[in-house]
Structure 1
Amino acid sequence: MAHEAISVFDMFKVGVGPSSSHTLGPWRAALRFLETLKKADGTLAGVQQVQVLLYGSLAKTGKGHGTDIAVLLGLCGLDPVTVDVASIDDRVATINHKQTIDLGGTHSIHFDPPQHLQFLFSESLPYHPNGLTFLADFSDGRQVAATYYSIGGGFVVEEGEQNVANPVQLPFPINTAADLLHWCRKTGLSIHEVVWENEGAWRGEAQTKSGLQQIFKVMQECTYRGCHTEGILPGGLNVQRRAASLNKKLLRGKTYNDYNEWIGAIRAGGNSFQYILDWVSCFALAVNEENASFGRVVTAPTNGAAGVIPAVLHYYIAFMDGATEEKALQFLLTASEIGSIFKKGATISAAMGGCQAEIGVSSAMAAAALTEVMGGTQRQAMMAAEIAMEHHLGMTCDPIGGLVQVPCIERNTMGAIKAITASQLALQSSPDFAKVSLDAVIDTMWETAVDMNSKYKETAEGGLAVNIPLSLSEC
């Protein structure tokens, strides 16, 4: 049976907020278009004009999600993994002021964003709600066009792209939870061990470990930075950042100099239920406040849900005995496999499935990962993932003003708490008596997504987005 090979580094990508589908995806699409132009001419020097058309959800909530900013930075040839996030505002202001853009960082052309980057609010493309088209004119009269779809989690596909055979053959091909359980039973391996073996089809062990360490490091840095940054989030809603003040309140004057000392100070504060609950919320708030501020985060599996997995992982690091870097990497491997199964069987795009596809999936990923590092069996880990998603089914995506702030930031705290609860339920239960399988809940999630009204799919046309009315011009 054919299988889709998805790596842990497909599910976890380092990028810039606030949205993987509306920011990171269009950014990567712009970078791909630059490569298309280079192939067409061997250089960018012949390009005279570029126009960008945003469709569907990318148009309707693109301003709030920074889609226009992402496209501009991508056309400049900047990498979302390495770009200096502190320089983004100045770069965009310069493009708007001078009405020029340095294509690929080397070739300057006239580019007036209101004229050359259009939001087509009433038009959608059939393949996916997140569509964008690039048009380029060369000085010799040639024209090049390409349409891309940002399908969630930073994944991008080009229109007309042919399905090709998987570039790698995995030792343990997996499309469904049943496939994963089959390989675990056949080999006796845990979920993270199965994933580790599969990753070997792409690269050596040292490279995989180094990549996982980098993902973990970015999550740690983002959480720490968010817990120590005050102010108002950009975009016009005037949302006050809360993680830093909560961090101060919980630590009660304790001093520290770096991340490790900070974790030590947190541990020293005790382990009461209320204290731990506050810290889980603080961790999640911190990451998504960074995300909303165009900070560097890890898609997990999306930017809008980027706080759930780091929050649950930090809950484990700060409050559970036996937490080590090795366990943290195992956590990431397990979470990635659960996320990839959801992507294959349903979607991780809110524009396709509502917020159940983002917060719901991230909560399921975190629940399974926490269960495994806590000593749960493979079946208990999958049971935890099912429980977490079961209680996110039908969650809509209705961001006020199209911004990834309200209700998105708080939803990450809820997803993290549900993940921990789901893990505890699974650890104290026997999967033999479970009535709902992980595959069944994935199928149900997709059916719910198909049935969901489009106004609840990241369009800002329903729910809180209209009951708390704010014009896009304010954002």
Structure 2
Amino acid sequence: MFLSIFDIFKIGIGPSSSHTMGPMTAAGRFLDDLRGGRDKEPGAGQMAGLGASLHGSLAFTGKGHATDRAVMLGFMGFLPDTLNPDSVEALEEEVRQTCTVTPDGLGALRFDPQVDLVFDYDTALPGHANGMILKAFDEVGNLYLQETYYSIGGGFVLTATELEDMARGDANALHAQKAAIGYPYPFGSAEEMLKMGAASDKSIAHMKEANELSHMGKAVLDKGIMRLRDAMFDCIDRGLRMEGELPGGLRVKRRAKHIHDQLLSEQGRNLSQPHTINDWMSVYAMAVNEENAAGGRVVTSPTNGAAGVLPSVLRYYRDHCVGANDDGVRIFLLTAAAIGGLIKHNASISGAEVGCQGEVGSASSMAAAGLCAALGGTNAQIENAAEIALEHHLGMTCDPVGGLVQVPCIERNGLGAIKAVSAASLALRGDGQHFMPLDNCIEAMRQTGLDMNTKYKETSQGGLAVNLPQC
């Protein structure tokens, strides 16, 4: 099994990797098919318009997660990693006013969001809770081309055919083929990862690095890792500067700057309690998730809804841990990506599929492993840290109030970061031997997600989403 660090960590925009980045990416793929001359429907005339229908969680929380805006931007030809977040509102207004998009190479196409973008609350697509159907039409409204896409979490997008191939096991065959052509450590489970590490006398980070270097140069890898680091820290810094209310109607106020100002004012005055370090971790995470809620630039870690956990723990390592350095940052991110790949491969990182245990739980597990590795932990201790953090998020629901990635998401990231540091510390105090293997914990998360009622899986139909403050 191999997922690159740049698959797990993607630079994009908020508020959601599955509901914003995924649909934008899917729209981009659909445009590529249209440009590539994919066979159109028999009898269709010249292409003249576009349409989309959103299903499952994409319908129920799509408006709060800006899925409609994401589809518009995708049909305009924009991609999450290069789009300027500050231009989004003007671009959306342009489409709503003109009812037209003009993607490169395809000319002007009719797209009226009021008519051509449908939130289908009644029809669930069979492949995944985050389903969407994209269409192109000719001048008189006949179907020109249609494709079904699934946004499976973390910005990953599959067509219906690709998802079916994966379900049939073709994906496993593909992973085996990839391993045969050059990935030296194709571990598909934590058990395999530990065995390969023991046999090669290599750390998890070094095995992950070797896999990456088999398909890219070291300079490219190092530059990419530092770009991820910089994007994470830039997001924290921007979040710590910003004030005001978050969009969406809940009137949730940004708090990160105020808390950060308090923490700075207490430095050097012997006013801080020992537990104040938790406030630092919380404020770093909250800064990221306030930016995410505002549609700013974030890094999927492994998702947008959980984007604050890992950057917070990485910032904690750099600014608060003895002996922190750039090599430790590399080790942290490579190790975290390895754990994230295992969780995605064997369970899910999608809140719409398994609840928030798959988002904040996975992020906390990844961050715990990364910190443990950066602080010199053995492979066994790293696996233990990842398991501790994930285990204590099992069963966590995804119940965003108003369909917005604000309540409880912002604070939840802070608590996920604190759990990650605690898990890493506990693991470092031991010898790596523990009762519950990480693989079993990941499987428990998968099974729990299957059993979880859909009300608690990013539909805003249960939990906190329906238990609101009384006015």
- What band does the TM-score fall into relative to the shorter chain? over 0.9
Q: 1:186 to 1:152 in 2, by over 3 A?
A: same
Letter in 2 for 1:437: P
Q: 1:195 to 1:364 in 2, by over 3 A?
A: same
Aligned to 1:115: 115
Report the secondary structure of 2:87's partner residue. Answer: helix
Does the Cα contact within 8 Å between 1:77 and 1:105 map onto a contact in 2?
A: no
| Percent identity of paired positions between Structure 1 and Structure 2 | 46
Residues 225-244 of structure 1 aligned to structure 2 (within 5 Å): 225-244=238-257
Write the distance in 1 (CA, Å) between the matches of 2:105 and 2:250. Answer: 33
Write the distance in 2 (CA, Å) between the matches of 1:201 and 1:168. Answer: 11
1:304-330 deviation per Cα after TM superposition (whole angstroms, max 9, x unaligned): 000000000111111112111221111
Does the Cα contact within 8 Å between 1:267 and 1:318 map onto a contact in 2?
A: no
Aligned to 2:133: 133
Aligned to 1:375: 376
2:235 to 201, 222, 233: 222
Q: Does structure 1 residue 14 correspond to structure 2 residue 15? A: no
Q: CA deviation at 1:90?
A: 0.7
Q: 1:185 to 1:39 in 2, by over 3 A?
A: same
Q: Does structure 1 residue 168 correspond to structure 2 residue 192? A: no
Write the distance in 1 (CA, Å) between the matches of 2:237 and 2:105. Answer: 32
Aligned to 1:79: 79
- TM-score by length of structure 2 reads 0.92
Aligned to 1:411: 412
Write the distance in 2 (CA, Å) between the matches of 1:210 and 1:138. Answer: 45
Write the distance in 1 (CA, Å) between the matches of 2:228 and 2:264. Answer: 27
Letter in 2 for 1:439: D
Report the secondary structure of 2:63's partner residue. Answer: helix
Does the Cα contact within 8 Å between 2:378 and 2:432 map onto a contact in 1?
A: no
Q: CA deviation at 1:345?
A: 1.1
Aligned to 1:473: none
Q: How many residues align?
A: 453
1:246-301 deviation per Cα after TM superposition (whole angstroms, max 9, x unaligned): 11111129xxxxxxxxxxxx799998523311111110000000000100000000
Letter in 2 for 1:34: L
Aligned to 2:215: 202
1:30-65 deviation per Cα after TM superposition (whole angstroms, max 9, x unaligned): 00000011112799x942011101000000000000
Does the Cα contact within 8 Å between 2:361 and 2:393 map onto a contact in 1?
A: yes
Residues 304-323 of structure 1 aligned to structure 2 (within 5 Å): 304-323=305-324
Report the secondary structure of 2:243's partner residue. Answer: coil
Residues 27-426 of structure 1 aligned to structure 2 (within 5 Å): 27-40=24-37, 46-104=46-104, 107-139=107-139, 143-161=144-162, 162=165, 163=170, 165-166=174-175, 168-169=178-179, 170-252=183-265, 273-426=274-427
Q: CA deviation at 1:428?
A: 0.8
Does the Cα contact within 8 Å between 2:59 and 2:120 map onto a contact in 1?
A: yes
Q: CA deviation at 1:114?
A: 1.4
Aligned to 2:440: 440
Report the secondary structure of 2:52's partner residue. Answer: strand
RMSD: 2.1
Write the distance in 2 (CA, Å) between the matches of 1:359 and 1:46. Answer: 46
- TM-score by length of structure 1 reads 0.92
Report the secondary structure of 1:415's partner residue. Answer: helix
Q: 1:122 to 1:63 in 2, by over 3 A?
A: same
Does the Cα contact within 8 Å between 2:365 and 2:385 map onto a contact in 1?
A: yes
Aligned to 1:263: none
Does the Cα contact within 8 Å between 1:400 and 1:466 map onto a contact in 2?
A: yes
Q: CA deviation at 1:104?
A: 4.0
Write the distance in 1 (CA, Å) between the matches of 2:229 and 2:342. Answer: 21
Q: 1:175 to 1:67 in 2, by over 3 A?
A: same
Aligned to 1:256: none
Write the distance in 2 (CA, Å) between the matches of 1:138 and 1:182. Answer: 57
Where does the alignment leave 5 or more consecutive residues of structure 1 unmatched?
254-265, 471-475
